[in-house]
């Protein structure tokens, strides 16, 4: 089993962490089976958030009796100290634990620091003094904020999107976190579903010994696929390198990472799926994507109000309305082609 030490925290965990966000969509019983099976299989880092609806509760119900066996991280989006304290108490109660190992600020616009007037960083320090949290972390999707937080010396861990589709600036951040002794947790190791080869994604991340990927798992089959990938040699094969090069060529440039920070959309467009549809159609079986449900969702794109809420909130600087339009055109073509193939 490969392990990672999270910088100055000294916490050493299995290199395959568990991202609990997708368990929001899983029933209570199945979630309990998955969490226990993951723990039995050696996964001992669990990362959730106050914002992931009932995922904290699912962890609390399923594995809090085994609390000594795993490291637990959650997050708060609180913008003031009152909300911070409320979030922390709610998380502790839901997770059925007296302490959280890593408590993270969840993707703030800028990173909290002592004396910035919000009192948020001071609230973290108080929580640590009270023994309610052990280490202070931050998550971010914006490279300048992530880098500045890591370099500030205020954070024990940084969570940032990182996969083989990331660019050299992102890779430099991972390496620099190593030098700064800041634990590096990578979200979106499959780039929001665009990477479909878990084994290649995992082997590639092995080349970054200080990076801890958290794999989003929703179904028992996905967990078993991860366990299967663990049986493969953890070095990139020639075929995997080829696959990565092909994916990079196909997905180069700006693409939607499905982070959801542009939501909600007043026109009720499912941006995280609709803005990636042309990529997904090339990379997954088209059938489910051409279903009546997705046709209905895609048909909402022309209702865009051009309010620019999405564009203004996209941490990747995407022109989201334009991206949606391109996806809409592409989707219409795919539907026509599928219709023509059916009637041929
Ligand atoms: S610009 Fe269009 S897609 Fe973006 S949030 Fe506004 S209505 Fe939704
Ligand atoms: S458009 Fe931007 S903010 Fe919205 S999901 Fe995609 S990457 Fe995230």
Ordered alpha helix ranges (H), the chain:
28-40, 55-63, 81-95, 120-129, 143-151, 168-180, 198-205, 220-231, 238-251, 271-274, 277-283, 286-289, 292-298, 309-313, 320-343
Task: Say if pTM beats, i.e. exceeds, 0.75.
Answer: yes
CA of 25 to the centre of ligand 2 (A): 20
Quick one: 29 and 142 in the same domain?
A: yes
Three-state DSSP state, 11: coil
Quick one: 136 and 48 in the same domain?
A: yes
Three-state DSSP state, 161: strand
Quick one: 278 and 241 in the same domain?
A: no
Q: What does DSSP assign to residue 182?
A: B
* Structure confidence at residue 234 as a pLDDT band (50, 70, 90): confident
Pocket of ligand 2 (CB under 6 A): 256-262, 271-272, 275, 310, 314, 316, 318, 320
Is residue 294 in a domain? Answer: yes
Domain's final residue, options 211, 231, 246: 246
Work out the average pLDDT over 92-119. Answer: 97
In this predicted structure, the answer to whether residue 235 has a pLDDT above a threshold of 70 is yes
Quick one: 107 and 170 in the same domain?
A: yes
Is residue 262 in a domain? Answer: no
Look at residues 100, 114, 117, 107 and name the one whose alpha carbon lies nearest to residue 154: 114
Quick one: 23 and 71 in the same domain?
A: yes
Quick one: 223 and 280 in the same domain?
A: no
Quick one: 234 and 298 in the same domain?
A: no
CA of 268 to the centre of ligand 1 (A): 8
Kindly report, residue by residue over 186-224, the tens digit of the pLDDT: 999 998 788 888 899 999 999 999 999 999 999 999 999
Residue 253 is predicted with a pLDDT of: 67
Residue 285 sits in which domain range?
Answer: 271-343
Mean of pLDDT over the chain? 94
Quick one: 235 and 277 in the same domain?
A: no
Kindly report, residue by residue over 246-264, the tens digit of the pLDDT: 988 887 667 898 888 898 9
Quick one: 282 and 203 in the same domain?
A: no
Is residue 33 in a domain? Answer: yes
Is residue 254 in a domain? Answer: no
- Residue 300 burial (CB count, 10 A): 16
Quick one: 215 and 315 in the same domain?
A: no
Question: How many whole angstroms separate alpha carbon 21 and alpha carbon 55?
Answer: 7
Of 260, 263, 302, 310, which is best to mutate to test ligand 1, by the most ligand atoms within 8 angstroms of its C-beta? Answer: 310
Is residue 251 in a domain? Answer: no
CA-nearest residue for atom 4, ligand 1, is: 310
Quick one: 303 and 223 in the same domain?
A: no
Q: State phi, psi for 342 to the nearest 5 degrees.
A: -65, -45
Quick one: 36 and 144 in the same domain?
A: yes
Domain's final residue, options 211, 246, 281: 246
Is residue 255 in a domain? Answer: no
Name residue 158's beta-bridge partners: 138, 184
Count: domains in the chain = 2
Work out the average pLDDT over 30-59. Answer: 97
Three-state DSSP state, 249: helix
Q: What does DSSP assign to residue 283?
A: H
Look at residues 65, 52, 63, 64 and name the one whose alpha carbon lies nearest to residue 23: 52
Question: How many whole angstroms separate alpha carbon 73 and alpha carbon 16?
Answer: 14
Q: What's the CATH code of the domain at 34?
A: 3.20.20.100
């Amino acid at each position: 089993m490969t392990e990672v030490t999270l910088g100055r925290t000294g916490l050493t965990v299995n290199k395959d962490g568990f991202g609990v966000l997708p368990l929001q969509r899983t029933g209570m019983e199945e979630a309990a089976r998955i969490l226990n099976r993951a723990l039995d299989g050696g996964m001992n880092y669990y990362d959730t958030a106050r914002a992931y609806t009932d995922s904290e509760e699912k962890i609390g119900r399923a594995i809090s009796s085994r609390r000594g066996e795993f490291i637990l991280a959650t997050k708060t989006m609180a913008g003031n100290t009152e909300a911070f304290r409320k979030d922390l108490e709610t998380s502790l109660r839901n997770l059925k634990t007296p302490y959280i190992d890593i408590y993270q600020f969840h993707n703030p616009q800028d990173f909290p620091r002592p004396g910035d007037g919000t009192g948020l960083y001071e609230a973290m320090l108080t929580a640590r003094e009270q023994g309610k949290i052990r280490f202070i972390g931050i998550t971010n999707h914006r490279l300048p904020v992530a880098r500045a937080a890591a370099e500030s010396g205020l954070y024990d861990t940084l969570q940032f999107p990182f996969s083989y589709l990331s660019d050299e600036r992102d890779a430099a951040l991972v390496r620099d976190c190593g030098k700064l002794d800041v634990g590096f947790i990578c979200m979106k190791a499959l780039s929001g579903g665009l990477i479909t080869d878990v084994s290649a994604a995992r082997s590639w991340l092995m080349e970054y010994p200080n990076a801890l990927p958290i794999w989003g798992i929703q179904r028992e089959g996905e967990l078993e696929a991860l366990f299967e990938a663990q049986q493969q040699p953890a070095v990139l094969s020639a075929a995997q390198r080829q696959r990565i090069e092909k994916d990079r060529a196909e997905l180069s440039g700006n693409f939607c990472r499905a982070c959801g920070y542009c939501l909600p959309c007043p026109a009720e467009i499912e941006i995280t799926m609709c803005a990636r549809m042309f990529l997904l159609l090339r990379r997954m079986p088209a059938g489910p994507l051409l279903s009546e449900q997705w046709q209905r969702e895609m048909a909402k794109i022309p209702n865009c109000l051009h309010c620019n809420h999405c564009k203004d909130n996209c941490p990747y600087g995407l022109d989201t309305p334009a991206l949606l339009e391109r996806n809409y055109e592409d989707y219409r073509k795919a539907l026509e082609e599928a219709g023509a193939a059916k009637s041929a």
